[in-house]
Copies of this chain bind each other. A is one copy, B any other.
Amino acid sequence: MSPAERAPRPAGVLAPVLTPFGADLAPDAGRLLRHCRWLLAQGCAGLAVFGTTSEANSLSVEEKEALLDALVEGGIDPSRLLPGTGACALTDAVRLTRRAVQRGCAGVLMLPPFYYKAVSEDGLFRSFAEVIERVGDDRLRVYLYHIPPVAQVPIGPGLIERLLRAYPKAVAGIKDSSGDWNNTRMLLDGFAARGFDVFAGSERFLLDNLRGGGAGCITATANVNPGAIARLAREWRGPEADAQQAGLNAVRGAVEKVPVIAGLKEIVAHHAADPAWRTVRPPLSGLAPAQAEGLLSSLAALGFSMPGLR
């Protein structure tokens, strides 16, 4: 397949889509599909389903395969999809990555195997290399997922360098969820000029990342505030960019005062008038009533809304 036949690379704002559950804790494909459609309508460039915010590691591979199938069969353009497919088990990562490629997804967002800590760079290189080789498909585009506060297994510049040299076509970029702008800047300075797309893991860094040559952001808060974040991604060269960034930060600041995933589900439940959205899978817990009230009133004070959600 020639480069010209390939879909354009994702750029702008991607949402790591929340996964709704039924009362029995089974994933709810219908609600997920509706939320995905709303996110795209609000201006998200893509959907990073099965991320940390999606509680994806609380789902089995089978559950993720079924949801991916439901999205594509439900009409979501797979060139907008960047599913998370990294796993502790090599065989799980291969299976889900292969399915994503076969389904025509734009790429995959790949966690390192995250059970063993302090593993060698060589061991991590072999982990990613085995997945790329076993999938063995020219269409595969891997976005590395660096999220040391959660995975506790970092993806450092030495590993990226090795992967880019070995698989320059397959290794397409990174999501940097370190929360450390110095790390994102290092990635931009070291790799962006070589066609390696750097996504910030939070919209707090969206403007700085775009100014530094990055591709956009993949951010939890895009589940509830996609329109404003996508607008900054379009208008970042304009005169209002810094003010827009400050507005995004205010909304994010309100959300970050509570556990973020439960908080985002609370916000969707409230604005969609759909209490089922509050359900999280263990080990996560829902918000306490006082947390929920505080969150919603903080957002109301900021004039926050979710247009067209109901």
Contacts and interface: CB of A to CB of B under 8 A. Distances in A.
Contacts of A91: 59-60, 62-63
Interface stretch (A4-12, A109-117, A213-221): A109-117
A284 B59 contact: no
B58 A123 contact: no
Contacts of A115: 52, 57-58, 114, 150-151
Tier of interface size on chain A? 35 or more
A130 interface: yes
Contact of A285 (B57, B120, B281): B120
Given A119-B283, A126-B285, A283-B123, A88 B152 contact: no
Given A58-B113, A117-B149, A124 B90 contact: no
Interface string A249-290: 000000000000000000000000000000001111100000
A240 interface: no
Contacts of A130: 25, 282
Interface in A17-62: 25, 52, 57-62
15 contacts: A58-B88, A58-B90, A60-B61, A60-B89, A63-B91, A114-B115, A117-B149, A117-B150, A117-B152, A120-B283, A122-B285, A123-B282, A124-B283, A126-B282, A127-B283
Interface of A: 25, 52, 57-63, 88-92, 95, 112-117, 119-120, 122-124, 126-127, 130, 149-153, 281-285
Given A25-B130, A62-B91, A127-B283, 18 more contacts: A25-B90, A57-B88, A57-B89, A57-B115, A57-B116, A58-B90, A58-B113, A60-B92, A60-B95, A115-B150, A116-B150, A116-B284, A117-B150, A122-B285, A123-B283, A126-B283, A127-B282, A130-B282
